Amino acid sequence: MFGPAAIENLPPSPMVAKVEFDRDGIHHGFLRMPYSRDDSAWGSILIPIAVAKNGDGPTALLTGGNHGDEYEGPIALFDLARSLKLDQVSGRIIIVPALNYPAFRAGTRTSPIDKGNLNRSFPGRPFGNPTEKIADFVTRDLLPMADIVLDYHSGGRTLDFLPFAAAHILDDKRQEAACFAAVEAFGAPYSVKMLEIDAVGMFDTTAETMGKVFVTTELGGGGTASARTAQIAKRGALGVLRHAGILKGAPEKRPTKWLDMPGDDCFTFSEIDGLIEPLVDLGDAVVKGQPIACAHPIDRTGVEPFTYTAKMDGVLAARHFPGLVKAGDCIAVLGVLET
Ligand SMILES: [Zn+2]
């Protein structure tokens, strides 16, 4: 957590925005981060950014590639940055399709430079590693401009999700209601009132602490996108921007099923290394005590599999993706459908 006083004492970010934020028009540029290294002494990292501004109005900040192996956000945002029509905009849209750009280029969750997990690096440090510098720039330079934030995630290489948009349960119920209204406008097949198991250092937490309307997603996974989840991502950005009054037109009303994740009982973690056999698929209903997956020991034959059972009634909202699990891996997440 941080306060305004802590922010004032920090030196300015070494990152430079080579794009216009305040002039009407559609601008394509870069966030340039100096990065001196063996193969480029005075080199830098160029993170693509687009800004569309037309007159006065609210500002939306849209980000993908917070984790580098999650693709629906970058697909939707590279597409939006290319196809936006200025006469449809009132206000400002800031688009960063691949926020942790080194991770995105490597196709990995964390940055290959510093192993930084951007969504555990907020609010960031201007004198930190490259991942912390990105977080700091977002916190101190981008977020203050934004009224509403949409940060895309998917399961990445190790998880696969039912496609949902989500916001967090917040102390400020007015802010929470505004976040859930924006989730509804995203119009994913599922919408989630999220309880984080690991909220410290997240972009979400920093933006919410600053009072922003914040929407996140989990739109699939397995380190790729599908035709269906890419379409959900593209439609979702338009829905949120129309809902915020930044894009012309009313959001298309799409049916969504609300899912709750009420507590620790939602999560199942593997207790052994093994070969995972799913016993239910994403979206399937389960009852408390029902086997949902088993892990076969792989170092010998003739050993019973380790069976994992549902700790509550619900539907399978996420599952481990690769076929092999290690002890401690998250193998299943259950949600409860609101009736
Ligand atoms: Zn992610």
DSSP letter at 155? -
CA 16 – ligand 1 centroid, Å? 25
Helix axes 173-186, 227-243, angle to 10 degrees: 130
Q: What token pair was written down for 103?
A: 């991770």
Domain 263-337 class in CATH:
mainly beta
CA 303 – ligand 1 centroid, Å? 35
- 82: Cβ contacts below 8 Å, ≥ 6 apart: none
Q: What is the pLDDT of residues 39-83, one digit of tens each?
A: 999 999 999 999 999 999 999 999 999 999 999 999 999 999 999
pLDDT at 198: 72
Task: Please report, for residues 83, 155, 165, 250, the alpha-carbon distance to residue 218 in angstroms, rounded to integers and kept in the order given.
Answer: 24, 6, 6, 24
CA 221 – ligand 1 centroid, Å? 9
Query: Minimal CA–CA distance to 215: which of 234, 240, 196, 233?
Result: 240
Taking the C-alpha atoms of residue 247 and residue 20, their distance in angstroms, rounded to an integer, is 19
Domain ranges of the chain: 4-260, 263-337
C-beta atoms surrounding 302 within 10 Å: 5
Q: Residue 59 carries which side chain, given as an amino acid letter?
A: T
CA 3 – ligand 1 centroid, Å? 26
pLDDT at 5: 47
Hey, is 227 helix, strand or coil? helix
pLDDT at 1: 44
CA 154 – ligand 1 centroid, Å? 6
CA 69 – ligand 1 centroid, Å? 8
pLDDT at 7: 58
Q: Residue 168 carries which side chain, given as an amino acid letter?
A: H
CA 218 – ligand 1 centroid, Å? 8
CA 24 – ligand 1 centroid, Å? 32
pLDDT at 263: 85
Positions in the chain short of pLDDT 70: 1-8, 197
CA 55 – ligand 1 centroid, Å? 33
CB 204 within 8 A of CB 151: yes
- 3: Cβ contacts below 8 Å, ≥ 6 apart: none
- Which residues are bridge partners to 216 per DSSP? 151, 166
CA 164 – ligand 1 centroid, Å? 13
For 252, left (φ over 0), alpha (ψ -120 to 50), or beta? beta
CA 286 – ligand 1 centroid, Å? 26
CA 250 – ligand 1 centroid, Å? 29
CA 302 – ligand 1 centroid, Å? 38
Q: What token pair was written down for 312?
A: 């509550």
pLDDT at 9: 80
CA 87 – ligand 1 centroid, Å? 33
CA 65 – ligand 1 centroid, Å? 8
pLDDT at 6: 56
CA 263 – ligand 1 centroid, Å? 20
Architecture per CATH, 4-260? 3-Layer(aba) Sandwich (3.40)
CB 133 within 8 A of CB 102: no
CB 216 within 8 A of CB 165: yes
The answer to whether the predicted template modeling score (pTM) of the entire model surpasses 0.85 is: yes
Q: What is the pLDDT of residues 203-217, one digit of tens each?
A: 999 999 999 999 999
CA 56 – ligand 1 centroid, Å? 32
The number of angstroms, rounded, from the C-alpha of 125 to the middle of its chain's C-alpha atoms is 20
pLDDT at 194: 84
Q: What token pair was written down for 334?
A: 């259950």
CA 101 – ligand 1 centroid, Å? 13
Omega prior to 123 cis, within 30 of 0 = yes
CA 236 – ligand 1 centroid, Å? 17
CA 237 – ligand 1 centroid, Å? 17
What dihedral angle (degrees, nearest 10) is formed by the CA atoms of 33, 35, 39, 42? 90
Taking the C-alpha atoms of residue 258 and residue 260, their distance in angstroms, rounded to an integer, is 7
Hey, is 276 helix, strand or coil? strand
CA 176 – ligand 1 centroid, Å? 21
Taking the C-alpha atoms of residue 152 and residue 76, their distance in angstroms, rounded to an integer, is 9
Taking the C-alpha atoms of residue 272 and residue 270, their distance in angstroms, rounded to an integer, is 6
pLDDT at 89: 98
